[in-house]
């Protein structure tokens, strides 16, 4: 079917579909249909409409969208929620930019999503950045609540705090005391809860940010629920004044498409109804399947399962495999038509959802059981031989290996998870070069927002 297809995107998608049979990555629907999607599929083009008298308007809802948003806010335990069709990125940008002013102080974690840094740059904010601590397997740990509270007490003029919870590895910061402190001191607590749309539906999962008193939370429905990629929701709590809620919603309208997709909004509504009806039962089954899978992994050589959560709450739907050469294992799994979400320095992140079944975990375990260590060196495009610094407009392109002491003019972001490692204005140190070269050698993709070739770094001219 694809041989004579002159549509590269469709051709590429067909080719991937033929290679991938088991998904332990986003989106949460895992390519599996539920009844509501069959209805959507049958009416795909006729449901792709615009704002008309009888199709309502997301930014001034009075009909079925108003009803859908009311159901959403009830399910999310928020005062008000809104559909996001530009992903959680637009929710993070909107909440930070609406609730802060130029030169305001904002407390963030070093490893936060790049959209947080973009909001800081766009609003000209003054960030207080807390460095990230890692465990022995290079897994990033949440910032402790004591450290967050102490930093706020040292900075009584702080306007907002932004945290990622859960982080990409399923670890959750403790925020109950933090949210109480923020409320008492008129500080906005904004939680990037992109990975936590399913929280609250199992007693062994952490509570959601809305339940714990955050001002704002943002959920990527597409990450863990049966929803299209790019579908998210923004939740505003009762702790926000009506004026603040209106400011945030007005900013969403400014930054998000003026023609939000009705197919995406229908997908969000389907996912909301699905988890409301099936979430508890499905998560019980998923929890049992992951427990059994984890026990089997304990019997394997080379590979183990991440269990030392350092006292933090943990999202059990995100099993983490520990292996010294994760790219080798990832490529092996791909040959077995199993695709995972991402690799870390010594880890492989599996994203499971309500749609995963026991047979998926059985197939994964069987492949891991048959894995044989090769020790083969990974081939990369990184080559620093005979490279020289090149002058370009407003700066220089410096070979990574020679960039010590230069000032960055672009952000450097291992992706996924999309957290900035080095940002514009940072001076490159020897340990930064060694760390990036180590990531590259392990097959971890390095995204740069100006000059894409990892062999060169865009810097100021020294």
- Model pLDDT for residues 299-337, shown as the tens digit of each residue: 999 999 999 999 999 999 999 999 999 999 999 999 999
Neighbours of 448 (CB within 10 A): 18
Q: With H, G, I as helix, E, B as strand and everything else as coil, classify residue 192.
A: strand
Report the DSSP beta bridge partners of residue 84: 232
CATH 3.40.640.10 describes domain 35-272: yes
Query: Confidence band (pLDDT; 50, 70, 90) for 3?
Result: low
- Of 71, 52, 65, 121, nearest to 92 by C-alpha is 121
Contact present, 351 and 321 (Cβ < 8 Å): no
> For position 380, what pLDDT does the model report?
86
Domain boundaries, the chain: 8-24+279-369, 35-272, 390-459
**pLDDT value, residue 52:** 96
CATH architecture of 8-24+279-369: Alpha-Beta Complex (3.90)
- Domains 8-24+279-369 and 390-459 equal at CATH topology level: no
Per-residue pLDDT of 37-78, as tens digits, reads 999 999 999 999 999 999 999 999 999 999 999 999 999 999
At 375, is the pLDDT very low, low, confident or very high (cuts 50, 70, 90)? Answer: confident
Question: Confidence class of residue 449 from pLDDT cuts 50, 70 and 90?
Answer: confident
Residue 376, pLDDT score: 75
CB 195 within 8 A of CB 315: yes
Kindly state the average pLDDT of the residues 18-22: 94
pLDDT digits (tens, 9 = 90+) for 165-208: 999 999 999 999 999 999 999 999 999 999 999 999 999 999 99
Considering only the top CATH level, what class is 390-459?
alpha beta
CA distance 313 to 144: 12
Question: What average pLDDT does the segment 403-415 reach?
Answer: 94
- What is the pLDDT at residue 131? 93
Q: What percent of the chain has pLDDT over 90?
A: 92
CA 325 to chain centre: 23
pLDDT in tens, 254-305: 999 999 999 999 999 999 999 999 999 999 999 999 999 999 999 999 999 9
What mean pLDDT, rounded, does the chain reach?
96
């Amino acid at each position: 079917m694809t041989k004579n297809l002159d549509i590269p995107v469709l051709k590429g998608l067909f080719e991937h579909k033929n290679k991938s049979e088991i998904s332990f990555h986003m989106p949460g629907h895992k390519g599996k249909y539920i009844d509501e999607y069959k209805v959507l599929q049958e009416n795909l083009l006729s449901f792709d409409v615009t704002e008309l008298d009888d199709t309502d308007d997301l930014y001034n809802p009075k009909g079925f969208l108003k009803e859908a948003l009311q159901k959403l806010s009830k399910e999310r335990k928020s005062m008000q929620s809104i559909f996001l069709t530009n992903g959680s990125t637009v929710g993070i940008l909107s909440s930070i930019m609406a609730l802060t002013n130029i030169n305001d102080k904002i407390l963030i974690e070093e490893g936060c999503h790049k959209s947080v840094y973009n909001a800081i740059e766009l609003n000209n904010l003054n960030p207080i950045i807390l460095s990230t601590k890692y465990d022995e397997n290079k897994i990033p740990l949440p910032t402790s609540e004591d450290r967050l509270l102490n930093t706020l007490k040292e900075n009584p003029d702080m306007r907002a705090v932004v945290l990622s919870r859960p982080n990409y590895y399923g670890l959750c910061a403790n925020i109950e005391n933090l949210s109480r402190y923020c409320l008492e001191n008129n500080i906005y607590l904004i939680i990037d809860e992109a990975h936590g749309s399913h929280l609250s539906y199992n007693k062994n999962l952490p509570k959601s940010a809305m339940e714990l008193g955050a001002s704002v939370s943002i959920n990527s429905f597409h990450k863990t629920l049966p929803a299209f990629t790019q579908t998210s929701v923004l939740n505003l709590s009762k702790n926000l004044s009506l004026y603040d809620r209106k400011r945030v919603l007005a900013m969403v309208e400014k930054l998000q498409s003026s023609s939000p997709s009705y197919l995406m909004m229908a997908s969000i509504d389907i996912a909301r109804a699905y988890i409301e009806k099936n979430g508890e039962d499905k998560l019980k089954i998923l929890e049992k399947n992951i427990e059994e899978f984890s026990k089997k992994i304990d019997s394997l050589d080379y590979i183990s399962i991440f269990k030392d959560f350092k006292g933090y709450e943990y999202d059990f739907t995100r099993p983490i495999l520990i292996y010294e050469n994760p790219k080798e294992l990832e490529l092996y799994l791909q040959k077995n038509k199993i695709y995972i979400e991402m690799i870390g320095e010594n880890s492989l992140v599996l994203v499971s959802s309500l749609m995963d079944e026991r047979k998926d975990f059985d197939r994964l375990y069987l492949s891991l059981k048959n894995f044989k260590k090769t020790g083969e060196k990974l081939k990369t495009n990184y080559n620093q031989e005979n490279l020289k610094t090149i002058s370009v407009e407003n700066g220089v392109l410096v070979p990574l290996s020679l960039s010590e002491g230069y000032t960055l003019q672009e952000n450097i972001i291992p992706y996924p998870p999309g957290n900035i490692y080095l940002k514009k204005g940072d001076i490159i140190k020897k340990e930064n070069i060694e760390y990036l070269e180590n990531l590259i050698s392990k097959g971890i993709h390095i995204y740069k927002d100006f000059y894409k070739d990892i062999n060169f770094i865009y810097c100021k001219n020294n």
